Amino acid sequence: MSRFLHERYRSMEAYTPGEQPQDMEYIKLNTNESPYQPSPEVIAAVSHEEVEKLRLYPDPECKELRDALANRFGAKRENIFVSNGSDDILNFAFMAFAGLGGSVTFPEISYGFYQVFAELHGINFRAVPLKQDFSIDIAEYTKNDSMVVIANPNAPTGLMLSKDEVETILKSNPDHVVLIDEAYIDFGGTSCASLVERYDNLLVVQTFSKSRSLAGGRLGFAIANSEMIKDLEKIKYSTNPYSINRLTLLAGTAAIASDGYFMDKCKEIVETREYTKEELKKSGFTVTDSFANFLFVKKDGISGEEVYRKLRENGILVRHFTKESICDYNRVTVGTREQMETFLQVIRKICEV
């Protein structure tokens, strides 16, 4: 830390992204990326000619992409916001709808970035513990006293609130934004996007990083009431109006045009998830009922840290979290069926089952 860093950021802890090691080839099951390539349409869209056009700025309004998304979700362009990954959108939303001195409530075990954004912007936060079974206690989110942020499905548990439960939270917080982070919604969950028409306090955030194989393209989107979208635009235009580069705009638009390809891949991932889950259970592992592209796994008698370390020694990367209530577990991204067969073999050997 230099002596120039502002006092406000000195004690703040930044988000730690999952490791991306370059030393050897791992089976990478640690950052919830898709194991599948983007569709042929996406690959074709990022052509040589388009690379040549990189001398020009991209469309700051992202009209084509927003129209494609609006069409896909039965909404209008004015209901769609896009930016550089959903992290960017979450950051803007924390800034816009809680802000310095504001307050936000989110689950204690959830996406680690929520707390980082709260600290970054000087927002008071209430991190609500999960219930014993890792489910979210919705009564804790019905107080109408702060912005609410919930990942649905939640990460790293994979558990899901029903649309009715989300509606209860929306109804009980009419004066605060309820942000539903649907990063993992395409793996068998039910989206709340259609509730936007009825609730002006709902902000649904999704990403192209998981179900659309574009983690490296950095593209996220939000669906909400047009006034809320304008607020997000205001923040974006006050930081970086060109937050999405030309190539990613093209890739994203092509991804929506080839939606069938991606949704088929999601189905495959769900099938592989369920297969892996059943195999793990047969071998005595505890596994949550995940609606996401990852499994949350533990084995009695061996620490989560040891499993993580031994998997790594065997060339398999998973994500381990050190928080006490979940440190026995590892989060395992669902890869291809082949990758998961290897994972099963190795984890059974490590845990001697």
Which residues form the interface with ligand PMP (CB under 6 A)? 85-87, 111, 151, 155, 181, 183, 207, 209, 215, 220
Identify which of 74, 119, 30 has the alpha carbon closest to the alpha carbon of residue 318. 30
- Please identify, using beta-carbon distances, which residue of 155 and 334 lies nearer to ligand PMP: 155
Q: Specify the residue for token string 């490296």.
A: 216
- Please identify, using beta-carbon distances, which residue of 73 and 111 lies nearer to ligand PMP: 111
CB of 205 to ligand PMP, least distance (A): 7
What type of residue sits at position 275?
Answer: Y
Identify which of 12, 17, 42 has the alpha carbon closest to the alpha carbon of residue 30. 17
- Please identify, using beta-carbon distances, which residue of 181 and 233 lies nearer to ligand PMP: 181
- Please identify, using beta-carbon distances, which residue of 18 and 60 lies nearer to ligand PMP: 18
Cβ contacts of residue 300 below 8 Å, gap of 6+? Answer: 284, 286
- Please identify, using beta-carbon distances, which residue of 214 and 350 lies nearer to ligand PMP: 214
Q: Residue 259: which region, alpha, beta or left (left: phi > 0; alpha: psi -120 to 50)?
A: alpha
Which residue spans within 29-185 are E strands per DSSP? 80-83, 103-107, 124-128, 147-151, 178-181
CB of 85 to ligand PMP, least distance (A): 3
CB of 319 to ligand PMP, least distance (A): 10
CB of 234 to ligand PMP, least distance (A): 21
Retrieve residue 264's tokens: 């088929």
Q: Map residue 20 onto helix, strand or coil.
A: coil
CB of 215 to ligand PMP, least distance (A): 6
- Please identify, using beta-carbon distances, which residue of 85 and 252 lies nearer to ligand PMP: 85
CB of 353 to ligand PMP, least distance (A): 29
Rounded-to-integer distance, Cα 11 and Cα 343, Å: 38
- Please identify, using beta-carbon distances, which residue of 146 and 206 lies nearer to ligand PMP: 206
CB of 229 to ligand PMP, least distance (A): 18
CB of 180 to ligand PMP, least distance (A): 10
Retrieve residue 224's tokens: 């909400």
- Please identify, using beta-carbon distances, which residue of 291 and 299 lies nearer to ligand PMP: 291
What type of residue sits at position 202?
Answer: L
End-to-end CA distance of the chain: 47
Rounded-to-integer distance, Cα 150 and Cα 146, Å: 13
- Please identify, using beta-carbon distances, which residue of 134 and 299 lies nearer to ligand PMP: 134
CB of 183 to ligand PMP, least distance (A): 4
Residue 210, Cα to own-chain centre: how many angstroms? 8
Rounded-to-integer distance, Cα 280 and Cα 88, Å: 35
Cβ contacts of residue 313 below 8 Å, gap of 6+? Answer: none
Q: What CA–CA distances, in Å, run from 72 to 65, 69, 250, 317?
A: 11, 5, 16, 34
Asked if 149 contacts 121 with a C-beta cutoff of 8 angstroms, the reply is no
